[in-house]
Structure formats: C-alpha cells, structure tokens
Amino acid sequence: MTKIYSYSFSLTPPAPPAPTEPLHKYSYSEFLIDLPAHWKQMPSAVDNTITFQSDTHGAAIIISADFYEIPQAKAQAVAERCLGSRLEALERTTPGRVNVLRRSIKPHSGGVGLELALVAETPEQVHIYLGHVTSRKILNFALVGRPGTQAAAELFDEAITKYRPKFP
C-alpha cells in the first residue's frame, strides 16, 4: 500500500515585523519608565508627581509617590484609604456616574508590601490604577483615557510593561 502525502506551503514570505517606535527612557529615584515619543512629559504643580500625556491616544499617565513610614500592621488600612480616596475624588467630579469594574488589594508578588488595583469608568473617561504600599512609600501609577475599557486596558498593558518601580 502506497501512502500519498499532501501538503501545501505559501510562496509569499511572511510580513516583516512592524517597526518599533523608539522609546524615551525616563529615570527617577523611585521608578524607571520607557515611553514612545508621543508621550510628552507635562509640568505638574503637585510635588512628587509626574504626568505624561499622549495626544495620539487621548490619554494621560500620572505617576506619584508619597513617602511615609508605614508599619506592616497598618499597611492594609493605608491601602484601603488610598483606594477609597481615589474613588471619592472620581465621585466628586462625576457624582453617581462612576462604575467600578475592579478593585483589589493583595500582597505584592515580590513580598515588598501590598499591590492595589482599581479600574473605574465614567461616561467621559476610563481610570486604571496600580499602586504599591511599602514600608516607606505609596507609589501610584494611573492611566486616564478615553471611554472604552478594552482600548484603555490595551494602552495600560502596553505602558505598564515599560514601567519599573523601585522597591521598597
């Protein structure tokens, strides 16, 4: 009995990889971040806060640090207050129109404190937040973007991979 093999292959070469946009490297005492050129650093009147804005995506990244000595026994309460104050601020600007999609506090995978997450949307914006409460600081990374949680989530995922906080 003779076996006949049938196969096919494409004579068209695969598409070349899309060119990657060069990244600008920002280095600060508490974090490093590499962002494409369309993310412009904006002046901030708030101490220990850095804001980047992208007209391309209609979004902003806000990174801030608050320095405290936080005993481990009080870290959970500090984390809960941190998330609560963020939600209160959103409620003040858009009363009754804040939809919380995710809110969590869990131990950081590296064992350096707690990791906070918040995803909320209003009719005008999506707010995605990642925070860290450690023994010496609260480090905040927030992305505020256009409505549409899927697009904002993709933008957040892209930006957060280029963000490297320094712990503790």
Mean pLDDT on 129-145: 97
pLDDT (tens digit, 9 = 90+) per residue, 97-109?
999 999 999 999 9
Task: Report the distance separating Cα 96 and Cα 108, nearest Å.
Answer: 32
Domain ranges of the chain: 45-165
CB 41 within 8 A of CB 54: no
Percent of the chain past pLDDT 70, that is, above it, reads 94
Task: Report the distance separating Cα 85 and Cα 82, nearest Å.
Answer: 5
Tokens representing residue 8 in the block: 């096919």
pLDDT (tens digit, 9 = 90+) per residue, 46-69?
999 999 999 999 999 999 999 999
pLDDT band at 7 (very low <50, low <70, confident <90, very high): low
Task: Report the distance separating Cα 136 and Cα 112, nearest Å.
Answer: 10
161 Cβ contact partners less than 8 Å away, ≥ 6 residues apart: none
Q: 89: how many CB neighbours lie within 10 A of its CB?
A: 12
Q: 96: how many CB neighbours lie within 10 A of its CB?
A: 5
More confident residue, 53 or 150: 53
Identify the CA nearest to 137 among candidates 84, 86, 63.
63
Tokens representing residue 100 in the block: 């919380």
Task: Report the distance separating Cα 31 and Cα 20, nearest Å.
Answer: 23
Whole-number mean pLDDT of the chain?
A: 92
Q: Where are the alpha helices (DSSP H) in the chain?
A: 72-93, 149-160
0.85 cut: is pTM over it?
yes
Mean pLDDT on 119-138: 96
pLDDT (tens digit, 9 = 90+) per residue, 25-53?
999 999 999 999 999 999 999 999 999 99
pLDDT band at 15 (very low <50, low <70, confident <90, very high): confident
Q: 21: how many CB neighbours lie within 10 A of its CB?
A: 10
CATH 3.40.30.10 fits 45-165, yes or no: no
pLDDT above 70 for 110: yes
